[in-house]
Amino acid sequence: TIKEIGRNCFNWNLQNLVILSQTPPTCNEEGIGDFNNLIIFTDNNYISTYQASTPWAGYTYKAKEEYILERVPIDDFTYNIYIYSNNAEVAGYNNTDITDYEIPENISFNGSKYVVNKICSSSLSWNDKITSIIIPESISITDERFDGCNKLKTILSLANIPPTCTYGLNFNSNATIYVSKEVIDNYKEDENWGKYTIESLDFFSIVPTVKSGELKYRLYKFSNKATLLNNNYRFTGKVEL
């Protein structure tokens, strides 16, 4: 257990400090240092106590739930992680060598799980390779407009309530948005999502797949159905690929 922090242990570039103690730690006569831009994060119920205590008064305080670990790379994306609120937001790409992206509903970091509930502004724009993206049900807000993603024509949104678009959307004019058939009307009536073609997820197909070197199928990911594409074959039954 750490009971004391030595003198000059923080450099002069310290900008964020998280304190979980209810009682403001005792400081020597020099205080905690002259950190002009320091933001102190603590429990919201403790802030007034710190602001009234010398030498902790005079700094900017925020609730610890607002503390962010910025741009943590995990798989295909980087994330801003709010470690005290168990939420995360998409902050950018970690892999730009693929064309099809899927934002996970949850991510794991240092043994804890975080819900991905937001896409940050300018985090996924100006990608000339992306052709499709799956947005999970957990996303409730997107600040991203998807500017400059000219090849992005397939968007799957699994959210039953259309995510709030802070700055609108700028998908390719030929883009198709696939959503659950039960909520198609909700998306069509939305001022941002409704500008694009809205289809049922049941009609979202994966690229044709070849089986045994002969038969080609179009697979429908969300309805567990397949269409045989070969004109010379007649097929009835289940397909296992």
Residue 32's pLDDT band, with cuts at 50, 70 and 90, is confident
| Alpha carbon distance 128, 75 (integer Å) | 20
Tell me the mean pLDDT in the region 117-143. 96
User: The whole model's pTM is what?
Assistant: 0.81
Per-residue pLDDT at 225? 61
Phi, psi (degrees; rounded to nearest 5) at 150: -70, -25
pLDDT at 207: 52
Can you tell me the mean pLDDT for 208-235? 57
Of residues 224 and 74, more confidently modeled:
74
Q: Above 90 in pLDDT, residue 177?
A: yes
Residue 34: is its pLDDT beyond 90?
A: no
Q: Determine the average pLDDT of the residues in 168-175.
A: 94
What does each C-alpha distance from 185 to 93, 137, 163, 182, 190 come to in angstroms?
31, 17, 14, 8, 9
Report the pLDDT value the prediction gives residue 224, as an integer from 0 to 100: 59
d(CA 62, CA 200): 43
pLDDT of residue 145: 96
Report the pLDDT value the prediction gives residue 131, as an integer from 0 to 100: 93
Model pLDDT for residues 179-195, shown as the tens digit of each residue: 999 999 999 999 999 99
Task: Extract the tokens encoding 179.
Answer: 């959503």
Q: Summarize the confidence of residues 159-165 as an average pLDDT.
A: 96
Query: Cα 164 from chain centroid?
Result: 14
* Per-residue pLDDT tens over the stretch 52-69: 998 898 899 999 999 999
Quick one: pLDDT at residue 58?
A: 85
pLDDT grade for 173, boundaries at 50, 70 and 90: very high
Above 60 in pLDDT, residue 72? yes
pLDDT-derived band at 215 (thresholds 50, 70, 90) equals low
H-only helix segments in the chain: 47-51, 184-188
SS (H, E, C) 75-97: CCEEEEEECCCCEEEEEEECCCC
Mean pLDDT value across residues 109-136: 96
